[in-house]
Amino acid sequence: MALGSHSRSQRTALSVGLSLLTNLLIAQPTLATNVFTCYANDFVDPSHTVGHYAANLAGAQDTIVAWANEMNSYGPWSVTDKPILAPSGNKHDYMSWAPYQWPDCSKAGNKTVLTPEQMWKTCPYVNRDGLVNPDRTTINDFQSFFNLSDAVLYNSLAFTFRNQSSSVYSQNVVKFIKGWFLDAATAMNPNLNYAQMNRGPNGQHGEYTGILDLRGFSKIASGILILRKHGSSDWTAEIDNQMVAWCNKYIDWLQTAPNALQAAAAKNNHGTFYVNQLMALKLIVNDTTGATTLGRGYFGGIYKGQIQSNGDQPLEASRTRPYHYRNFNIAGMITNARLLKHADPTSNDWNTTSNGATIQTAIDFLMTTKPSATHEKDVTAEIYPNVAAVGATYGDLKGKYVNFLNVSGFPYASDASFLWDQPLAGGNTASSNSESKPISEASPHSVAPPASTSAHQASGTVGAVRPSMQIWVMYGILGIFGWRLC
């Protein structure tokens, strides 16, 4: 056949092929999705993952898939990636720098010729609460762990949107967990001896504050429990056993190391998040009794001193960034309540009081304050997931919480958290004529990445799905809020 004389069917095939190719190149989410947010912490009970999701959750589902895809583009992660060794000399040791510590080289003289390494060892470091030293980000272990924990959470959720025993999303979870915890070449040692490390002549050791760095374990526990619940064929018994063994060693460290015990004894957010982390680990190793004991210890213990009767949190209010720290601790309280509810379904700690107040009282108080009153920038969005959680849990008959979110301009019903902060008014009303939304190939909210993306994801070199112009504009608008709560 001569060139240029294609039959009709060949031409059709060619144009279908071309349009497929075009679709692959400019694959776009079907709805505007929220810009990625790293929540300070949360625990997603696997009971929120079902075979069919209600129609109003379509926006949240799309956002979750977009966030999974975005996180996948940064992974896999390993502590062995960092360019600097911990003082132990062991490249498998986790390390991060204390965020509020700044070098004072005035007494070390000669600061212009000090190399960074000399500065870290010879200059005394002083604390400036609330002021983050930007050099903290030259060592990425803490950011890597946050991204890992978000990747595990969102990939596990995205995996449940299809009724399959395996998908690129569950494969990603396994790949990321193996890379960080299990593979001999890249695994992290189960300790935080150099977390939020103190530098200077009296430093070179981690601080109790560094225990916070791994609070994302509650997101990782969510992901693992979800894969278990749905019988993912990728989450094999072998991987489960290896992960349980790793977590048991790390639990030993958290229950015995002096830094960890100091975090456990803290009465403020450090104590709250210590419980988040250890309860989550106990759920991973199936020690529900131990998790329950810890959670009850928190709500019967330091929680009782954390909220005043008017809803303020004195231990957080005294910090230099009170709006941030009040929200931060509320996120930890919510996570503890959710973890404990999972460990012991008969528990009801959302109703436990501290000086007559509950988590709801604390949010009600915070909703009347403004970050500008304490000159805090880029923290406005921190309250949104907390307000959504409180509205969903305590009920929102008068629409107080939803209105707060609406007036703030936060598209809460297309946020990831809307999937588990239920029931809360709102959501995708366009398709609300159908009772529930089974996710299928034909669904307008189909969650499968395009074939090419899947292939890349499976081999670990995925690029993020390219957002549409509409989404870029939305990113720009939402960027004003400075979303990234971690």
**DSSP state, residue 205:** B
Q: For residue 26, give Cα distances in angstroms to 200, 212, 242, 468, 475.
A: 50, 39, 39, 8, 18
Quick one: 274 or 401, whose CB is closer to ligand NAG?
A: 401
Cα(276)–Cα(215) distance, integer angstroms: 7
Distance in Å, CB of 52 to ligand NAG, minimum: 6
Quick one: 289 or 372, whose CB is closer to ligand NAG?
A: 289
Nearest residue to ligand NAG, scored by beta-carbon proximity: 51
Cα(380)–Cα(372) distance, integer angstroms: 9
Quick one: 142 or 274, whose CB is closer to ligand NAG?
A: 142
Query: For 442, left (φ over 0), alpha (ψ -120 to 50), or beta?
Result: alpha
Quick one: 111 or 304, whose CB is closer to ligand NAG?
A: 111
Token couple for 252: 């030993």
Quick one: 374 or 426, whose CB is closer to ligand NAG?
A: 426
User: Looking up tokens 């996120």, which residue turns up?
Assistant: 331
Distance in Å, CB of 110 to ligand NAG, minimum: 4
Cα angle 178, 283, 146 (rounded to 5 degrees) comes to: 50
Distance in Å, CB of 35 to ligand NAG, minimum: 9
Distance in Å, CB of 241 to ligand NAG, minimum: 10
Cα(376)–Cα(379) distance, integer angstroms: 7
Distance in Å, CB of 11 to ligand NAG, minimum: 38
Quick one: 105 or 257, whose CB is closer to ligand NAG?
A: 105
Under 8 Å CB-to-CB from 281, ≥6 apart: which residues?
A: 217, 221, 247, 250, 251, 254
Q: Which is it for the CA torsion 212, 214, 217, 219, positive or negative?
A: positive
Max Cα distance, the chain (Å): 87
Quick one: 143 or 272, whose CB is closer to ligand NAG?
A: 143
Quick one: 38 or 275, whose CB is closer to ligand NAG?
A: 38
Check: CB of residue 30 under 8 Å from CB of residue 58: no
What percent of the chain is helix, strand and coil (3-state, nearest 5)?
A: 55, 5, 40
Distance in Å, CB of 355 to ligand NAG, minimum: 17
| Binding positions for ligand NAG, rule: CB under 6 A | 36, 38, 51-52, 74, 110, 113, 140, 143-144, 147, 163, 286, 288, 348, 350-351, 393-394, 399, 402-403, 406, 425-426, 484
Distance in Å, CB of 426 to ligand NAG, minimum: 5
Give the DSSP per-residue string, 264-321.
HH-SSHHHHHHHHHHHHHHHHTT-HHHHHHHHHHHHHTGGGGTS-TTS--HHHHTSSS
Distance in Å, CB of 382 to ligand NAG, minimum: 15
Quick one: 140 or 308, whose CB is closer to ligand NAG?
A: 140
Distance in Å, CB of 1 to ligand NAG, minimum: 45
